Amino acid sequence: MNDSALAELGNKDNADPLYAVRHSLAHVLAQAVLEMRPGSTRGFGPPIDNGFYYDFVLSAPITPEDFPELESRMKDIIKAGQRFEREDLEVPAALARLEAMGEPYKAEYARELADRHGLTRLGFYTNGPFVDMCDGPHVGHTGKLPRGAFKIRSVAGAYWRGSEANQMMTRIYCWAYADKVTLEAEVKRHEEGLRRDHKKLGPQLDLYVIDPAIGKGLPLWMPNGTVIREELEKLAKEMEFQDAYQRVATPHVTLESLYYMSGHLPYYKASMFPPMVLEEAGEAGGEAVRETYYLKPMNCPHHHRIFAARKRSYRDLPLRLAEYGQVYRFEDHGALSGLLRVRGMCMNDAHIYCTEAQIEDEFLKVMRMHERYFEMLGIADFYMRLSLWDPDDPKGREKYVDNPAAWERTQNLVRQAMQKSGLPFVEVKGEAAFYGPKIDIQLKTVTGREETFSTNQLDFAVPGADRMNLVYTGPDGAEHHPYVIHRAPLGTHERFIAYLIEHFGGAFPTWLAPLQVRILPISERFNDYAARLDGELRRAQVRADVDRSDDKVGKKIREALTSKIPVVLVVGEQEQEGGTVTVRRYGEDAQASMPFSRFLAEIRAEIDGRVMRRAPGA
Ligand SMILES: [Zn+2]
Ligand SMILES: [Zn+2]
């Protein structure tokens, strides 16, 4: 088989020793399935990232109850040490063999390999009684396969060749690693990921809903989720204020012409919502007005117009304009997923207009801001990527502004700034924005997924004469174009909160938690005392409530734990008399009794300092 044909079967990677192991295990799984369900036929069975899968049309269903038997049959095959023997057959002989085996899907694929890819011979591997059309590679014999390092994971439906027009098959997924320790660690990480999945925890903690009556990919933020959004905005405002940013506000809809000026139209059109055409009668018998508007997909052009709205001098630079800006992007509905892929999002946006001499400092300050956020939130699993243009890319002229000298100069500036920052980074060609180099901050989520989480971009092109034509008067009295830094350290609320839900496993630090303190009176006799404490907490801007239900205290405490409320105050006779509270904290065994006034001072300090008392998710 040639490479392109093989690509259908998974990524062949001969350099990865696990590839042959996973591939061989797929044969062993298929052999076990055919023993258990005689008369079943087969589709593809490729290695994948965490193991492999194999597709079947089964003669009788396989359910998770069958997994132990299937695994034990696989282990028997491994124990038998069956040799993998290769044989290459001419196409007609290969087709006859597949026919005799009763494998119509494999035969269909063999015909395609011959007709479309021009193969004349096809590889077959035999081990024991089992035969599969396949190009390898395999381990020498089944005895070389790690018996304790695989585990059947799930069954799912999958169409033959991924097309809904085709036969529905049963796909059996299996984990496979080099050894048992790795397998167990990976399975555990996967389960932890499921437990922390924001699509599960988000609604469970009442943070957001996606309501079909509103539209796909347009989340509604519930009161609890709105608290988190506002706390993040408050944090961003404080940090940006310290670094002398100024806040601005811009509308959600804008005339089409602005997007031509900025370069978004026509290139970005596929990612924008369709236009709105507005018609109204002209004033005092004048001509009718017809205008086309778009929902804004980015805040940059608006901020640029704010820059352009006044005459700017070099003394005004750097000018830093910030906004938590709502934007709308048209994502294919199949790509939408919880808060991670949405059609409406609110972005921690800012644009810094500066001279070339100011780039390094400004860039560094943005990187420092990232560091402060990450430290505050206990985010350690990330790396920085300097994304460069690719002068050798044949499509480079469409992808990048054609100005090699500017690319070289700005890339060096960003590289120098990064070296000064002391932050480790890798360089990757061909990942730049069309208008300049950027730093991408890559985060690893608890499920092991890597995401570009935020970017810090240097733009030498959009302010230029043939686009937004932004100018300032230099010390020489002449007009110059500023550089622009586009930055969004906290990304969008949607993406960042999805990340934080999983990062903290829903147990937010006190300053971010929707409800910070729950007061539990041990009987209704203490409701008044509880209400008094509740009032005092609220006056001190602490988010508190009282559980007045008739449930037993034990049940109330369990309820508070499920909701991951950081602090529970238990109050009864003793507390009421002494003006004290018994403090129980989420994730901590010890409880402490203290005067209420002391508790209030402590929690206020904890919130003000945005203290993280526990490791994220612990
Ligand atoms: Zn194979
Ligand atoms: Zn921007």
508-511 long-range contacts (CB < 8 A, ≥24 apart) are: 508/228, 508/564, 508/566, 509/566, 509/610, 509/611, 509/612, 509/613, 509/614, 510/566, 510/567, 510/603, 510/606, 510/607, 510/611, 510/613, 511/231, 511/606, 511/607, 511/610, 511/611
**Peptide linkage before 489 cis (omega within 30 of 0):** no
Mean pLDDT, all residues of the chain: 92
- How far apart (Å, rounded) are the C-alpha atoms in residues 534 and 229? 23
Q: Which residues surround ligand 2, an ion (CB under 5 A)?
A: 300, 486
CA 27 – ligand 1 centroid, Å? 6
Proportion of the chain above pLDDT 70, given as a percent: 97
Say if residue 315 is in the same domain as residue 382: yes
CA 100 – ligand 1 centroid, Å? 19
Mind listing the pLDDT tens digit for each residue in 375-432?
Answer: 999 998 888 999 999 888 887 777 788 889 999 999 999 999 999 988 889 999 998 8
Mind listing the pLDDT tens digit for each residue in 543-557?
Answer: 999 999 989 989 999
Kindly compute the dihedral angle of the four CA atoms of residues 184, 187, 192, 194, in this order, to the nearest 10 degrees: -170
Mean pLDDT of 446-463: 85
Position 618 scores a pLDDT of: 62
Say if residue 457 is in the same domain as residue 575: no
- How far apart (Å, rounded) are the C-alpha atoms in residues 423 and 113? 49
Residue 178, pLDDT > 80, answer yes
Position 285 scores a pLDDT of: 73
pLDDT band at 5 (very low <50, low <70, confident <90, very high): very low
CA 233 – ligand 2 centroid, Å? 18
DSSP assignment of 63-74 equals -GGGHHHHHHHH
Say if residue 16 is in the same domain as residue 157: yes
Minimum-distance ligand to the CA of 462? Answer: 2
Residue 617, pLDDT > 70, answer no
Minimum-distance ligand to the CA of 263? Answer: 2
- How far apart (Å, rounded) are the C-alpha atoms in residues 357 and 364? 13
Is the separation of the CB atoms in 355 and 396 below 8 Å? no
Is residue 312 domain-resident? yes
Helix (H, G, I), strand (E, B) or coil at 496: helix
CA 164 – ligand 1 centroid, Å? 26
Half-sphere exposure of 465 (CA within 13 A, CB side): 2
Minimum-distance ligand to the CA of 23? Answer: 1
pLDDT band at 14 (very low <50, low <70, confident <90, very high): low
Helical spans, DSSP H, in 197-276: 198-204, 223-242, 256-262
CATH of the domain at 17: 3.30.980.10
Helix (H, G, I), strand (E, B) or coil at 52: strand
Residue 101, pLDDT > 80, answer yes
Q: Which residues of 193-229 are buried (b: 16+ CB within 10 A; e: fewer)?
A: eeebbbeebbeebebbebeeeeeebebebbebbebbb
User: Which structure tokens are listed for 518?
Assistant: 């729950």
- How far apart (Å, rounded) are the C-alpha atoms in residues 159 and 162? 5
Position 435 scores a pLDDT of: 86
* Residue 373 parent element (H or E): helix 359-377
CA 158 – ligand 2 centroid, Å? 41
Say if residue 448 is in the same domain as residue 576: no
CA 298 – ligand 2 centroid, Å? 7
Is the separation of the CB atoms in 509 and 609 below 8 Å? no
Name the β-bridge partners of 486: 351, 457
Say if residue 487 is in the same domain as residue 526: no
Mind listing the pLDDT tens digit for each residue in 183-229?
Answer: 999 898 888 888 889 999 999 999 999 999 999 999 999 999 999 99
Is residue 320 domain-resident? yes
CA 9 – ligand 1 centroid, Å? 10
Position 87 scores a pLDDT of: 93
Domain boundary among 477, 503, 529: 503
Minimum-distance ligand to the CA of 138? Answer: 1
CATH of the domain at 598: 3.40.50.800
Structural domain containing residue 604? 517-608
Is the separation of the CB atoms in 125 and 136 below 8 Å? yes
Say if residue 155 is in the same domain as residue 232: no
CA 55 – ligand 2 centroid, Å? 45
Domain boundary among 449, 468, 503: 503
Residue 567, pLDDT > 70, answer yes
CA 486 – ligand 2 centroid, Å? 4
Say if residue 61 is in the same domain as residue 156: yes
Mean pLDDT of 156-167: 92
Position 400 scores a pLDDT of: 84
CA 488 – ligand 2 centroid, Å? 8
Is residue 282 domain-resident? no
- How far apart (Å, rounded) are the C-alpha atoms in residues 60 and 69? 15
Is residue 512 domain-resident? no
Mean pLDDT of 37-54: 94
CATH of the domain at 349: 3.30.930.10
Mind listing the pLDDT tens digit for each residue in 267-295?
Answer: 788 899 999 999 988 887 788 899 999 99
- How far apart (Å, rounded) are the C-alpha atoms in residues 212 and 222? 15
CA 14 – ligand 1 centroid, Å? 13
Mean pLDDT of 600-609: 97
Is residue 524 domain-resident? yes
Is the separation of the CB atoms in 367 and 414 below 8 Å? no
Q: Which amino acid is at 22?
A: R
Position 265 scores a pLDDT of: 83
More confident site: 188 or 533: 533
Say if residue 454 is in the same domain as residue 373: yes
CA 12 – ligand 2 centroid, Å? 39
Mean pLDDT of 485-495: 95
More confident site: 163 or 541: 541
DSSP strand E in 306-381: where?
319-328, 344-354
Say if residue 545 is in the same domain as residue 475: no
Residue 219 CA: distances (Å) to CA of 9, 215, 229, 248: 37, 8, 13, 24
- How far apart (Å, rounded) are the C-alpha atoms in residues 199 and 591? 33
Say if residue 494 is in the same domain as residue 528: no
Mean pLDDT of 594-617: 93
Is residue 204 domain-resident? no
Domain total in the chain: 3
Tally of helices (H runs) and strands (E runs) in the chain: 18, 28
- How far apart (Å, rounded) are the C-alpha atoms in residues 53 and 178? 17
Domain boundary among 171, 187, 203: 187
Is residue 462 domain-resident? yes
Residue 529, pLDDT > 60, answer yes
Say if residue 363 is in the same domain as residue 492: yes
Minimum-distance ligand to the CA of 132? Answer: 1
Question: Of 210-224, 308-322, 461-475, which gets the smallest average pLDDT?
Answer: 461-475
State the CB neighbour count (10 A cutoff) for residue 52: 26
Phi and psi torsions of 25, nearest 5°: -65, -30
pLDDT band at 502 (very low <50, low <70, confident <90, very high): very high
Say if residue 444 is in the same domain as residue 593: no
Position 108 scores a pLDDT of: 94
Mind listing the pLDDT tens digit for each residue in 65-80?
Answer: 999 999 999 999 999 9
Is the separation of the CB atoms in 481 and 464 below 8 Å? yes
Residue 2, pLDDT > 70, answer no
Mean pLDDT of 492-507: 94
- How far apart (Å, rounded) are the C-alpha atoms in residues 575 and 581? 5
Is residue 202 domain-resident? no
CA 139 – ligand 1 centroid, Å? 10
